[in-house]
Amino acid sequence: MQRTGKSELLGVSFDAITMQAAVERCLEFCHAPRAAHTVITANAFHLCMMRRDRDLAASCRAAQLTVADGMSVVWALRASGQAAPERVAGVDLMANLLAAAGQQRLRVYFLGARREVVTTLAEVCCTRYPGIEIAGFRDGYFRSDDHLGIVEDIRASQAHMLFIGMPSPFKEVWCERHRGRLDVPVMIGVGGSFDVLAGFIKRAPRWTQAAGLEWLWRLLMEPRKLWMRYLTTNTEFIWLAGREIVARQLGRLPAT
């Protein structure tokens, strides 16, 4: 597979990669001698949160593959003169990887969401992706005392892919903290993707995604949960990314 270059925004190094190339890279991880790899799908929220959360920042920077999940990140990279072939949304990457897992009979493990959601997701995947092997699944409601037991269960499952449907920064930090013991070739935090793929939440229309307005769709779906997050994060990201774009255009930051 053709290797890709890197782009940088707000201290995060992104793989300048298409969706197809990201899927191929993950499949390479699955078929190579067994080793743990983390995949980060970073959006504006992650980039802003990393400035205040050292554990999250360290976990994201330790990833073996980092993709731009969010049109605002793609536009900011392009405006700063860097490569950003396309948005690689976590929910779409997960769907593509599940399809590939069905074709290649790979084992997947789901961790997160409500029990009803994750159970339905496992059932839907068996129907939608014939050939996929569900190595295991567990809801995201557990105590800190349960962490080591969950890690051992995932390790024993011999899963090729681990999808973690839990909020940030928990999913990134937890995954990196236990990465060596988990020993899963592809580990990826996908937030609320379980609800979407299991059919509990409707995905934004494609024109909304292309216009960079999927955040607005999500806000309309869950206003009480998301309004403050988007108000503060979007404003902060525009200011920070804008400063970096100008600095790169003026040659005050090195090219990546």
Task: State both tokens at 256.
Answer: 């990546």
CA-based radius of gyration for the chain = 18
Please tell me the total count of domains within the chain. 1
pLDDT at 130 over 70: yes
Give the pLDDT score at 203: 74
Mean pLDDT score, 78-99 = 95
Task: State both tokens at 145.
Answer: 């005392």
Tell me how far apart the alpha carbons of residues 176 and 40 are, in angstroms, rounded to a whole number: 11
With bands split at pLDDT 50, 70 and 90, how would you rate the model's confidence at 251? confident
Mean pLDDT score, 28-35 = 96
Domain with 60 in it:
13-208
Whether 71 is in a domain gets the answer yes
> 105 exposed, middle or buried (CB, 10 Å; 0-12, 13-18, 19+)?
exposed
Whether 143 is in a domain gets the answer yes
Whether 202 is in a domain gets the answer yes
pTM: 0.90
Chain mean pLDDT for the chain: 90
> How far is C-alpha 152 from the chain's CA centre?
23
Could you give the strand order of the β-sheet that contains 133-138, starting from the edge strand earlier in sequence? 65-68, 38-42, 186-189, 161-165, 107-112, 133-138
Whether 222 is in a domain gets the answer no
pLDDT at 20 over 50: yes
Task: State both tokens at 226.
Answer: 């998301």
Whether 48 is in a domain gets the answer yes
Give the pLDDT score at 221: 67
Q: b/e for 151-180, b at 16 or more Cβ within 10 A?
A: beebbebebbbbbbbbebbebbbbbbebbe
Q: Tell me if 80 sits within 8 A of 245, measured CB to CB.
A: yes
With bands split at pLDDT 50, 70 and 90, how would you rate the model's confidence at 113? very high
pLDDT at 69 over 70: yes
With bands split at pLDDT 50, 70 and 90, how would you rate the model's confidence at 34? very high
* Site of tokens 């779409």: 92
Q: 58, 78, 59: which is closest to 68 by C-alpha?
A: 78
Whether 21 is in a domain gets the answer yes
Whether 103 is in a domain gets the answer yes
CA angle, 94 as apex, 20 and 41 as ends, to 5°? 80
Whether 53 is in a domain gets the answer yes
Give the pLDDT score at 215: 63
With bands split at pLDDT 50, 70 and 90, how would you rate the model's confidence at 227? low
Tell me how far apart the alpha carbons of residues 109 and 148 are, in angstroms, rounded to a whole number: 16
**Most confident range, picked from 2-6, 140-144, 252-256:** 140-144
Tell me how far apart the alpha carbons of residues 86 and 220 are, in angstroms, rounded to a whole number: 25
